[in-house]
Amino acid sequence: MAAPTTTSGSAHRTARLELTRPGTNGARQAYKTRMHRAVLVVIAIAGAALLAVPSVAKEGVRAKLDRPVRLDAAPGDTVRVSWHLVDGKGRRFGASGIYLRVSRCGHGPLRVPARALGHGRFSAPVKVRRGGIRKLVVGLKGIRIIGGRRERADVFFQFDPPVYRDCP
């Protein structure tokens, strides 16, 4: 029986280089190992993309008030609007760039930035202006680029049930 031998660090590196030389079984094994890792990375990226698809699809998302809102508040009052977003299956929907679009009687709409409270919940303070509040809709800021030109492409989510009143 042969006595056990020890190899120095440089002898070990030399042995490893011998295994990875072209034409050796070690080179083939090293290639398979690298390719296996690459395939796993591609599968992981594809899986992550598939899981992200439902969050990209905004169809069917609607807003639900967490508490009633006084649309008849007097000018100068501040009304706090709290809501959550849900998708078509009732699951919470969260996003950044959410705001409250406030339509006013006799005036143009206002964009009031919303504060994210987590888990698809949002809140925004609305200072009532002259003319009062006519309608509330949740907006999601979006941008589209057409031919090198950037323009707003917001998406709107209606409250369910709708939050509006007739102007006097």
- The partner residues of 116 in beta bridges, in order of sequence, read 122
**Res 24 pLDDT > 70:** no
Higher pLDDT, 106 or 43: 106
CA-based end-to-end distance of the chain: 105
Q: Is the pLDDT of residue 49 over 90?
A: no
CA angle 118–125–114, rounded 5-degree value: 40
User: pLDDT value at position 9?
Assistant: 57
pLDDT digits (tens, 9 = 90+) for 89-132: 889 989 999 999 999 988 899 999 999 999 999 999 999 988 88
Is residue 90 domain-resident? yes
CATH number for the domain that contains residue 87: 2.60.40
Q: The pTM is what?
A: 0.64
Lowest pLDDT segment from 50-59, 85-94, 140-149: 50-59
**Residue 2: inside a domain, yes or no?**
no
Host domain of residue 86: 62-164
Q: Considering only residues 9 and 74, tell me which one the structure prediction assigns the higher pLDDT.
A: 74
Cα–Cα distance for residue pair 65/113, rounded to 1 Å? 16
Instruction: Identify whether residues 139 and 91 lie together within a single domain.
Output: yes
Would 115 be classed as within a structural domain? yes
Q: Which amino acid is at 22?
A: P
For residues 82-91, average pLDDT: 92
Torsional sign, CA 116, 118, 121, 123: negative
Count of domains for the chain: 2
Same domain for 72 and 38:
no
Distance CA 41, CA 48 (A): 11
Residue 138 and residue 67 share a domain:
yes
Residue 42 and residue 18 in one domain: yes
pLDDT value for 47: 58
**Six token digits for residue 88:** 């078509």
Mean pLDDT to the nearest integer, 131-158: 93
**How would residue 37 be classed by pLDDT, with cut points 50, 70 and 90?**
confident
Tell me: do 67 and 125 sit in the same domain. yes
User: Looking at the structure, do residues 105 and 37 belong to the same domain, yes or no?
Assistant: no
Look at the block and give the residue holding tokens 């079984």: 25
- Whether 3 is in a domain gets the answer no
* 1 within some domain: no
The pLDDT assigned to 167 comes to 85
Whether 86 and 158 map to the same domain: the answer is yes
Q: Are residues 153 and 77 in the same domain?
A: yes
Task: Tell me, yes or no, whether 106 and 74 share the same domain.
Answer: yes
Q: Inform me whether the pLDDT recorded for 15 exceeds 60.
A: no
Tokens 């639900």 sit on residue: 64
Residue 48 domain-assigned?
Answer: yes
Residue 42 lies in a domain: yes
Task: For residues 81 and 95, state if they share a domain.
Answer: yes
Higher pLDDT, 25 or 4: 25
Return the pLDDT at 32.
Answer: 74
Do 82 and 48 lie in one domain? The reply is no
